[in-house]
């Protein structure tokens, strides 16, 4: 049977997606073992895909794809700025067609287009840890679970400040999006949220969730004394209080200042009928324990992988971020796919415009494309990669120099699953 990678540009009429997009969506959900969705609901939900690039691998006789991939341009914060990334998701292969190279076919096609159109980085999250390194992706950020015992939580600053306002589904995006846009600049790796993602955050209706509304979601916006919004939190009732004590699960919490962060947590801790607040996608360095008289009231849980990054254009990617020290370092990058391959001088003499050019100079450090993706946001120490044999120090102390160079003001964090 012959296979062909085809691209679909989704469109919608009166909120209903076109037939190709609906067929693609059904195939994608089946690959992820999601519940079957009633056709009318599916056609309306698939309209959210407008603006994405969809790819399918088709067997010539079958209108339904045997493999799927969705991507779109997203803005991702980096130290000192932001960069456009090719956000990749929904890679699924029909259960009867696995291990025949279809994931490879669809992903290689997407990366080639991203590179051709000048997108310097591709980003994805993965269901499995051993899948994407072979395509040049490196693990670059982690999230960590956090659990607050609200009955043990006493804040070191006892008085609440500012003002809280509840948000409704209709007002969430307009009130929260500007806040998220400012808040995400504080965390390398933090990505923007599209319109459909804002709607799903509050209603719970999304393709992966079987399109069931989740009516136990709430959102609160915090503003300072001058009325300027500084942060928001969206949460759901994970366990009703009828069992004796309720539990709240945070879905998104974004704060632009220490004060807004503290007051949002104070709000969560003060909810009547609630004994615990959990957050599965907190950053690995949440300040919450430091706000409390007893830091043990906030218990960190397991961390899990979040972003995998694939550098497609070395000058474009490394030139988009800023660096905390002046340095000139030569990196030899091994990349069988070719995108990042070469010997590169990274020269940060000009703090505003780092220079990244190919060079014939001897490398200080040799590494492969996944290792470069892992280092990019400053969340992985090159010396650790050297200890793992994943990075070779060709001049003594070069891994340490590189560590100081790629260091970021905060750990990378992206709280938005995609």
Pick out the residues of the known binding site for acetyl-CoA. Answer: 91-93, 99-104
Q: Which helix (H) or strand (E) holds 166?
A: strand 163-167
Reply yes or no on whether 418 is catalytic. yes
Which member of 13, 60, 128, 226 binds ligand COA (CB under 6 A)?
128
Which member of 126, 203, 328, 343 binds ligand COA (CB under 6 A)?
126
Give the x-and-dash track for 35-74 against ligand COA (CB under 6 A): ----------------------------------------
Beta-sheet pairing, 298-305 with 308-311? unpaired
- 139 vs 179, beta carbon nearer ligand COA: 139
Least Å distance, CB 95 to ligand COA, is 8
Give the x-and-dash track for 96-115 against ligand COA (CB under 6 A): --xxxxxxx-----------
- How many Cα atoms sit within 13 Å of 337 on the Cβ side? 21
Instruction: State phi, psi for 315 to the nearest 5 degrees.
Output: -60, -40
> What's the distance, Cα to Cα, between the start and end of the chain in Å?
32
User: Total number of residues binding ligand COA (CB under 6 A)?
Assistant: 18
Active-site residue, from 58, 132, 137, 339: 132
Helix (H, G, I), strand (E, B) or coil at 243: helix
- Cα–Cα separations (whole angstroms), residue 9 to 24, 27, 320: 11, 16, 29
Q: Where are the beta strands (DSSP E) in 283-358?
A: 298-305, 308-311, 328-334, 342-347, 355-358
Q: Following DSSP, what letter does each residue of 5-56 receive, concatenated?
A: EEEE---EETTEE-HHHHHHHHHHHHHTTPPP--HHHHHHHGGGGTTSEEEE
- 65 vs 188, beta carbon nearer ligand COA: 65
Q: Is 337 in the site for ligand COA (CB under 6 A)?
A: no
For residues 74-93, which are near ligand COA according to CB under 6 A? 91-93
For residues 3-42, which are near ligand COA according to CB under 6 A? 31-32
In the complex, the residues that contact ligand COA under the rule CB under 6 A are 31-32, 91-93, 98-104, 126-128, 130-131, 134
Catalytic residues: 132, 418
């Amino acid at each position: 049977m012959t296979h062909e990678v085809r691209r679909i540009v989704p469109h919608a009429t009166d909120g209903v997606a076109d037939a190709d997009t609906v067929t693609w969506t059904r195939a994608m959900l089946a690959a992820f073992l999601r519940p079957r969705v009633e056709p009318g609901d599916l056609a309306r939900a698939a309209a959210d895909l407008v603006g994405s690039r969809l790819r399918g691998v088709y067997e010539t006789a079958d209108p339904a794809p045997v493999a799927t991939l969705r991507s779109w341009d997203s803005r991702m914060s980096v130290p000192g700025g932001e960069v456009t990334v090719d956000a990749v998701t929904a890679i699924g292969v029909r259960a009867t067609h696995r291990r025949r190279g279809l994931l490879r076919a669809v992903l290689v096609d997407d990366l080639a287009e991203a590179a051709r159109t000048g997108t310097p980085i591709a980003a994805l999250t993965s269901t499995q840890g051993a899948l994407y390194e072979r395509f040049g992706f490196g693990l670059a950020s982690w999230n960590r679970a956090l659990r607050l015992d609200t009955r043990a939580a006493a804040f070191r600053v006892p008085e609440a400040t500012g003002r809280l306002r509840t948000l409704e589904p209709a007002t969430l995006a307009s009130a929260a999006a500007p806040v998220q846009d400012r808040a995400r600049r504080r965390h390398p790796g933090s990505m923007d949220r599209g319109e459909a993602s804002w709607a799903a955050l509050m209603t719970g209706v999304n393709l992966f969730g079987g399109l069931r509304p989740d009516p136990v979601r709430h959102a609160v916006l915090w503003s300072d004394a001058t009325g300027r919004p500084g942060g928001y939190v969206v949460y759901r009732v994970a366990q009703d209080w009828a069992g004796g004590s309720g539990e709240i699960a945070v879905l998104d919490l974004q704060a632009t200042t220490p004060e807004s962060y503290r007051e949002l947590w104070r709000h969560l801790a003060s909810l009547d009928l609630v004994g615990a607040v959990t957050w599965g996608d907190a950053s690995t360095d949440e300040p919450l324990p430091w706000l409390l008289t007893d830091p043990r009231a906030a218990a960190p849980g397991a961390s899990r992988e979040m972003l995998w990054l694939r550098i497609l254009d070395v000058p474009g990617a490394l030139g988009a971020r800023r660096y905390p020290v002046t340095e000139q370092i030569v990196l030899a990058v091994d990349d069988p796919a070719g995108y990042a391959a070469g010997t590169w001088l990274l020269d940060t003499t000009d703090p505003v415009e780092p220079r990244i050019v190919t060079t014939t100079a001897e490398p200080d450090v040799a590494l492969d494309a996944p290792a470069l993706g892992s280092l990019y946001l400053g969340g992985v120490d090159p010396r650790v990669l050297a200890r793992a044999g994943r990075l070779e120090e060709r001049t003594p102390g070069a891994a340490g120099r590189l560590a100081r160079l790629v260091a970021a003001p905060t750990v990378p964090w992206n709280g938005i699953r995609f």
